[in-house]
Amino acid sequence: MKAMIATAAILMATGTPASAQEITSGLSDRYTGCVARAGRNTVQSGLCAQSELAAQDARLNKSYQQVMRQLASQPARRTALRNAQRSWLRARDYACKIDQDTIDNTCLVTRTAARANELERRIRF
């Protein structure tokens, strides 16, 4: 039940019509539990998001580096991935900006997790 509440909170915060599976894929159980416990407390929810963002950012960086290593012998594809990643970062930051001084941390978390998922699917084992 708490996981369903946390998922609903994440879906409402992101403002995107994605499915619950797409939104929560890759997010830690610690984060969904934290969001559920935070309820409507925006400060606590923000702390949950900041912690999870650090974890998702590390996941994203690791998967990006792995894909870049795989493309070592293909400079054009490495350049294309680097450019795509830079474009994605700008688009994510723009989409998650509420106003000049406010950023939606939950948006950053979910979009970063989704990008990490995307890059992880590109890794050849």
Instruction: Yes or no: say if 62 and 121 are a contact pair by the CB < 8 Å rule.
Output: no
Amino acid identity of 39? Answer: G
Q: What are the pLDDT digits (tens) for 37-81?
A: 999 999 999 999 999 999 999 999 999 999 999 999 999 999 999
Closest CA to 123 of 64, 61, 60: 64
Is the alpha carbon torsion for 64, 69, 71, 74 positive or negative? positive
Whether the per-residue pLDDT at 12 is higher than 60: the answer is no
In this prediction, residue 124 carries a pLDDT of 83
* Cα–Cα dist 113/53, whole Å: 8
* Cα–Cα dist 17/92, whole Å: 16
In this prediction, residue 22 carries a pLDDT of 52
Domains held by the chain: number: 1
For 28, the domain range is: 2-121
Percent of the chain with pLDDT over 70: 80
Q: SS3 for 61?
A: helix
DSSP string, 72-114: TT-HHHHHHHHHHHHHHHHHHHHHTEEETTEE-HHHHHHHHHH
- The token duo for 108 is 């950053």
